[in-house]
Structure 1
Amino acid sequence: MMASSLSLSLSRLAPALWWVPRGIVFGLMAFFIFGPLANMLLWTVAERWYFPHTLPAQYGFSAWQNVFAPRGGALESLRNSLLVAVLTVIVALMLAIPAGYALARLKLPVRGLILLAFLIPQAFPNLTVYVNIARIFYEIRLNGTVAGLVLVHVSHGLVYAVWIATAAFSAIDRELEQAARSAGAGPMRAFMDITLPLAAPGLMASAIFVFLESLDEFTGSYFVGAPDVTTLPLLLYTAGSGGNYQVASITALLLLVPSLVFMLVVERFLKADVLSRVGH
């Protein structure tokens, strides 16, 4: 009787004990993910923080004032980052929309090789690629210009633009275009009135990916843009390497917020039927 009651108690206790290792694993994951974020947020308001204090000894917002002061460089870096990112999105979409439509609709014999060709910039170490790009841009006077930065960012973000655009157009039923054509619409009219609006959510997600990639790009911006065109990642690197953790944390926060917001937007726009056609 006592043995049966003990086994019954253990059987009831087993499911509860099973959550113990799960809780430990989830707790460690939360610590490694949110711990650095919490440390960054503390540095943004820390006036004095030194060993052996676990938390800042003094809080304040003087670092924010210094960052956004005319000599702080944050506003200029933010303007440069947004300008380069917006121009990168425009150029990338101008190339990705016709390329994605052609890859989705035309029966190209080397379609797979064309898609793989857009991965070439990702296949090699960025450092070696950007060093040679910087040398070429210096010879043609594109080094240290916004146009040079945009070209570098487009070469890096075009893979997202083309692959997602191809998937977005592939997810649209061709019979809808054929119905518009049979009703008297020309090819361009059918594309503008039917295909493009239906592909707009996928293209929006593509634009957001390219925008975030450009906003966070450091290596290409360093070799091609610095010191004439300063972006937020360059300001973050300069502040971090100089030990100014308040400025580095504030700059990192400025980069983190749009990334989180836009990723939520991507999750809303990028549906499963589009994702299932990426690479097909």
Structure 2
Amino acid sequence: MDRNGPIALIFHTLVVCFMLAPLVIICLVAFTPDSTLTIPTTEFSLRWFKAVFVHPDFMASFYNSLWLATLAATIAVLISLPAGIAISRYEFPGRGFLNGLFLSPLIIPHLVLGVALLRLFTLIGATGSFGWLVASHVVVVTPYVLRLVMAALTGIDRNAEQAALTLGAGPLTVFRRITVPMILPGITGGWLLAFINSFDELTMSIFVTSPQTVTLPVRMYMYATESIDPMMAAVSALMIALTGIAMLVLDRAFGLDRILVGQK
């Protein structure tokens, strides 16, 4: 038996507790009946959750973020699927450049990206447009989808595709009935990661949103600068719960381990 086993277990347990402690505290504070940021000690209350659902600005921002994240994640999948196939399966001039171009938003600070997009939208007169806000989020979330799609394509066995082509199936039929089902866990996982990242995006969104397209994270940031009541904890707890449910559904449907390794 490895002598360092118990030490490693204790170390990893402490790291996990350290990472989860802020989330647990936020969720506890969300159930406080008081008007200050305190952990409930005598009773739990749904007061601040009710306040969130009757607050018109928060509900409008929630629907903005929901539509924005859905559109951005879907468009990112539509872009990443052909791009992933081309980059992972074919050799052509500029292949490395194209791969680096798609993945470059991962290394660009969102603050810099937000300022650059704000300048661009100002020059072309597109400030305040929901469509351009969607385009901004597509730029940010596409790398997450592309990485998982490429990993899924690399991990599948291509013999089934070759057999279908040999038996007379056309390339489109092979793609629709064989390739896509085989890499569906990677596509679904990429869509979910893109959705979550778009829904939670704050730094860049501050620069490119307008009063009509304020997203939920931006609304939370604006509200936090004006008030210190536990409503922010309630909104955060709801977002944590939605993310957890989405991950649970994905795990039950496809298996997170298969998605992460990009294999069916």
Question: Which interval holds the TM-score relative to the shorter structure?
Answer: 0.7 to 0.9
Residues 212-260 of structure 1 deviation map (CA, whole Å, 9 limit, x = unaligned): 1111101122111143212221122123222334111112122212322
Partner SS for 1:119:
helix
Alignment map for 1:218-257 (pairs within 5 Å): 218-257=202-241
When normalised by structure 1's length, the TM-score is 0.80
Q: Find 1:206's aligned residue among 170, 190, 204.
A: 190
- The 3 A distance-change label for structure 1 pair 25 and 201 is closer
Please, which moves more after superposition, 122-131 or 106-115? 106-115
> Which amino acid in structure 2 is aligned with residue 38 of structure 1?
V
Partner SS for 2:204:
helix
- The 3 A distance-change label for structure 1 pair 102 and 54 is closer
Aligned-pair identity in percent equals 29
Q: Find 2:20's aligned residue among 19, 34, 39.
A: 34
Q: Which residue of 2 aligns with 1:178?
A: 162
- The 3 A distance-change label for structure 1 pair 130 and 109 is same
Q: Which residue of 2 aligns with 1:77?
A: 61
Q: Find 1:152's aligned residue among 101, 125, 136.
A: 136
Q: Which residue of 1 aligns with 2:48?
A: 63
> Which amino acid in structure 2 is aligned with residue 138 of structure 1?
T
When normalised by structure 2's length, the TM-score is 0.84
Deviation at 1:143, TM superposition (A): 2.1
Larger Rg: 1
Asked if structure 1 preserves the Cα contact closer than 8 Å seen for 2:183 and 2:262, the reply is no
- Name the CA distance, whole Å, in 1 between partners of 2:259 and 2:66: 31
- The 3 A distance-change label for structure 1 pair 276 and 197 is closer
Partner SS for 1:250:
helix
Q: Which residue of 2 aligns with 1:114?
A: 98
- The 3 A distance-change label for structure 1 pair 145 and 257 is farther
- Name the CA distance, whole Å, in 2 between partners of 1:240 and 1:250: 12
- The 3 A distance-change label for structure 1 pair 174 and 256 is same
- The 3 A distance-change label for structure 1 pair 44 and 193 is same
Larger relative contact order, structure 1 or 2 (CA cutoff 8 Å, min sep 6)? 2
- The 3 A distance-change label for structure 1 pair 273 and 162 is closer
Please, which moves more after superposition, 40-49 or 180-189? 40-49
Asked if structure 2 preserves the Cα contact closer than 8 Å seen for 1:48 and 1:57, the reply is no
- The 3 A distance-change label for structure 1 pair 258 and 61 is closer
Please, which moves more after superposition, 162-171 or 205-214? 162-171
Residues 184-225 of structure 1 deviation map (CA, whole Å, 9 limit, x = unaligned): 111111111111111111111111111111111011221111
Deviation at 1:160, TM superposition (A): 1.1
- The 3 A distance-change label for structure 1 pair 26 and 166 is closer
Structure 1: gaps (5+ residues): 1-14
1:217 aligns with 2:208: no
Deviation at 1:78, TM superposition (A): 1.4
Deviation at 1:31, TM superposition (A): 4.5
Q: Which residue of 1 aligns with 2:77?
A: 93
Asked if structure 1 preserves the Cα contact closer than 8 Å seen for 2:66 and 2:199, the reply is yes
Asked if structure 1 preserves the Cα contact closer than 8 Å seen for 2:106 and 2:140, the reply is yes
- Name the CA distance, whole Å, in 2 between partners of 1:199 and 1:101: 11
Partner SS for 2:161:
helix
- Name the CA distance, whole Å, in 2 between partners of 1:110 and 1:239: 46
Partner SS for 1:46:
coil
- Name the CA distance, whole Å, in 2 between partners of 1:249 and 1:156: 26
> Which amino acid in structure 2 is aligned with residue 60 of structure 1?
S
Partner SS for 2:230:
helix
Residues 117-171 of structure 1 deviation map (CA, whole Å, 9 limit, x = unaligned): 2222222222122112012213334322321221111101111111211221222
> Which amino acid in structure 2 is aligned with residue 65 of structure 1?
K
Q: Find 2:29's aligned residue among 37, 43, 53.
A: 43
